[in-house]
Each structure stands twice: as structure tokens, then as C-alpha cells.
Amino acid sequence: MTEPLRLGIAGLGTVGVGVVKIVRQQAALLELRTGRKIEISAVSARTKGRDRGVSLSGYAWEDDPVALATRDDVDVFVELIGGDVGPAKDATEAALKAGKDVITANKAMLAMHGQALAELAEEKGAVLRYEAAVAGGIPVIKTLMEGLAGNEITRVMGVMNGSCNYILTRMEDSGKTYQEIFAEADGLGYLEADPQLDVGGIDAAHKLAIISAIAFGTRVDFDGIQLEGIERVSIEDIRAAADMGYKIKLLGVTQMTGRGLEQRMQPCLVPETSPLAQLNGGTNMIVIEGNAVEQIVLRGPGAGEGPTASAVMADVCDIARGARGTVFGQPAKTLVASQAALSKSPAPYYLRMALVDKPGALAKIATVLGEAGVSIDRMRQYEHAEPSAPVLIVTHKTTQAALDQALAAMDGTGVMAGAPVALRIEEV
């Protein structure tokens, strides 16, 4: 008879409790689907006596997650502590060194130390899985590594942070400012203890770095991501973008170009008819493009107890079935150091500006754009009562360098009533 698969769970927050619930409530179904009983041997957390809404009396307790990771009665160490250094990393390394399989939801740890952990796991013959680290309940890791293994991936993009998507869609629906909706999201508990991880795009960029490694066979390179959060997105931009047929999303994009690996996490405009534009609230969406499959769209909850615990259990079930494999889809030592693209691929841009209301102002701006090689696709000037005239411009495809040249030259025209806003338009 096959021996049970024994789990040691470190971290009993929202996700850890969710895993405990699934193991208990779905025990019979899990055994039918994997051919093996799945049990919890021991657990660890910072506070033992806390009421978590689920009994832990049947499990051994370890105060130290490193001790949990190396217990003889633990086959799979489930790391749900979080943080790229400290107990999470120490315990993960201890488990791998002991030859134990590891499942983690820790995107920060993988984004910063993924290459070293992958090499350690493969050296020890251990499995390191992390479906829950990217996009919550969406099986994007399994899709890239298994379902699309026969494809040369050309581009992956998506909305990878539900909190930012909530803020942007609530601004659109309510007409309230970024500051007002930020306070609302924080009050509802939608933001991390350090909100900059969310609104600064850092959380989503961790996920993008992991996706890039799998998609393009490169070493995880978080530092190579061009990163910008949503703090400067105004309600005026959301209204103006809608008027021009677009929605604003914090969009992660990774693609291999002739200039190198392009990794971007930044606010972008997407066409209002695209799947990404229809995404509301805290939901995530990943769009994957491959040479054989063309384009697929994955949509679902990006966080929360059930969705993230579901992703953890997907990895548990794979291990229970005997599935092994490399960490990033190919041997870690064959992953190449990525060469960051020196420039972004050409794209159309949205420009919003306020011009001094006097004859010839708009002509001067058009001249500056033309001299930089930036051509205008559409332009709109609104009725106004204030001294400055609001103007929207959508350009044809252009390079970031040409756009930067034009924006710098605008300062010397004498017709700008404020700093212009420029946002990339991503073709979907």
C-alpha cells in the first residue's frame, strides 16, 4: 500500500488555514485523484495559541520553521510564511538540503533567489513548486510549463495585482480620486501592510519575473523589470482614456525582442473592447501568446484563502502522483542570464496636457512632436472655462526615445500650463 504524503505547513495565516481546510474537507477526493492519502504531520507559526477558526490539535507543533522543514515525518515542506529573507528562506533551504520537496506561495523569495533555490533543489533531487506564487487561483505556472510546453512563447502580459485593479476600476465607477479609493481599499484590508508593494507595482513585478524565467528560459531577473506603480494615475486620465476608447490597467508585459528581454510593469491603456479592459475588481488576468497556440486568456481570483490554497493543493497533488521536474521548466543550470532590452518596443502613446489658451499653442505642440518623429493619430481639445486648455493626443507607434525627446522639447515652447502625462498604449 502506498504510504501517505505527509505535509509540514509553515505559516498559518489566511492561505495556511485554507490548505488545512482543503486537506480535511477533501480528504477522500484527494486520495481518489492522487491514489495516495494526503496528511498533515506538523505545523508552525509565530503564535501557537491564536484562534484560527480550525483545530490544529492533531498536528505536531514547531516554533521554528527550520525544525519543521527537517522533521522525519514531513515529506513536503509547505512554506506560507512570506518574505524574501529570514525564516521563509532559511526553512526552504533547510528542506531542500535535506532532500525534501517544497511548495511555496512566496513570490518575493523566488523573484530574488529563484536561481539559487532552483539549483539547490535540482542538485538534491527535490521538487520546488510554486503555483500559488503567481496569480492566486489561476494555473498560469502549470499552463506555461505543461500545457504550452510545445510552444515558443512570444509574449505574456496581464493584470497581476488585484488590489491595483480594484483601485483603478473603483476610480472609474465612482468618479473618486486615487487618494480617496486608496483610503477605501486600505480600510477594507485589500492592501499589504506596506501598501507600496501593491500600488508601487512591486508585488506584481515579482510575479512577472517568475513568469519571464519560465517563458523565455532565462534566470529570474527582478532588477531587470522597468517598474512604475499606479500612484500618478488621476481620475482625469481615467475619464479621458475612456473618452478615447481605452481603460487604464497596471499591466505586466514580458517579451523577448531583438533588443533583449523586455520586462515592464507599468500603467498602460488597453482598448476598451479587449479582455483586459473588461476585468473589474480584484480579479487577475494573464494573456499568453505562443507560436502554435496563438493567444490564450486565463482569468480568475488572484488572491484570497480559497483560490491561493487551491493552487497550493494543485502542487501537493502533483507530488502525490509522483510528478517530478525542473523548477523553471528546464534544468536550472541551462537558464541563461537575461539581457535587458535597452529600449521598449515601439507603441502608440496617450498624451494629456494643459496648454496656455492662446493662438498657435496647439500648433507648437504638433510641431515639436513632428520634429521628434512622433506622428499624431487622434487629437481632442475640450471646451473649458479655466485659463488653460485641456488637450488629448493619441500618437501612432513611436519609440520611447522619440517620445522623451518630444516631451523634453515641450518645456521650451512657452505654451505648457503644466507637466504632460504620457501613458503607453498596449496592443492586445
Q: Which residues are identified as catalytic? A: 207
**What is the dihedral sign for C-alpha 217, 221, 225, 227?**
positive
What's the CA gap between 338 and 329, in Å, rounded?
A: 16
d(CA 51, CA 4): 28
For cell 497550493, name the residue. Answer: 312
Single-letter amino acid code for the residue at 65: P
What φ, ψ does residue 366 adopt, rounded to 5°?
-60, -40
Distance CA 64, CA 386 (A): 63
**Whole-angstrom Cα distance, residue 191 to residue 188?**
8
Residues forming a β-bridge with 8: 42, 77
| Cβ–Cβ < 8 Å for 99, 122 | no
> How far, in Å, CA of 107 to CA of 185, rounded?
22
User: CB atoms < 10 A from the CB of 351, how many?
Assistant: 23
Give which of 198, 126, 203 is closest to 168, Cα–Cα.
198
What residues pair up with 265 in beta bridges, in sequence order? Answer: 227, 252
Residue 315 contacts by C-beta under 8 Å, 6 or more apart in sequence?
Answer: 103, 129, 130, 131, 132
Task: Give the SS3 label for residue 127.
Answer: coil
The alpha carbon of 197 is separated from its chain's Cα centroid by a whole number of angstroms, namely 11
- Left (φ > 0), alpha (ψ -120 to 50) or beta: where does 331 sit? beta
User: What gap in Å lies between CA 8 and CA 22, rounded to an integer?
Assistant: 14
What separation in angstroms does the CA of 321 have from each of 15, 225, 344? 23, 36, 43
Helix boundaries (H) for 39-161:
65-69, 87-97, 107-124, 140-142
Question: 292 in helix, strand or coil?
Answer: coil
